[in-house]
Amino acid sequence: MNKLNEIISLHANILDKARRKAIEDFKETKLPNLKDKASNLRISTIAYNFYRKHPSFEFTFLGSNIVALVKSWREDDAKKAANHINKDGDGASNK
């Protein structure tokens, strides 16, 4: 449970952005399209969980939408790592 809380706190911005986007998309979706949206949400959730456990995995076989989503997660992780290094005084910007 502690590990889950740690992951959630480290990725709170991504999760909050995904939540807001999902709500926004849901409100704009007509009833017949809800099944497709639910399916896409399940796929992206599975992809995110798999990415967390295997960040170097190649997701290209899942299509360009998932590849773009994973790319955004990788970019966000890189920014957080850079900010963490700079915050701790180990980076070049803290001279």
From first to last of its 95 residues, the chain has per-residue pLDDT tens of 777 777 777 887 888 888 888 888 777 766 666 677 777 888 888 899 999 999 899 889 888 988 999 999 999 999 988 888 877 665 554 44
What is the reported pTM?
A: 0.53
Domains of the chain by residue range? 2-87
The end-to-end CA distance of the chain, in Å, is 38
Q: Evaluate the CA torsion angle 60, 15, 52, 75 in order and state its sign.
A: positive
- Burial (0-12, 13-18, 19+ Cβ within 10 Å), 79: exposed
Measure the CA angle with vertex 21, ends 35 and 19; round to 5°: 90
Is 63 in a helix, a strand, or coil? Answer: coil
Furthest CA-CA distance within the chain: 57
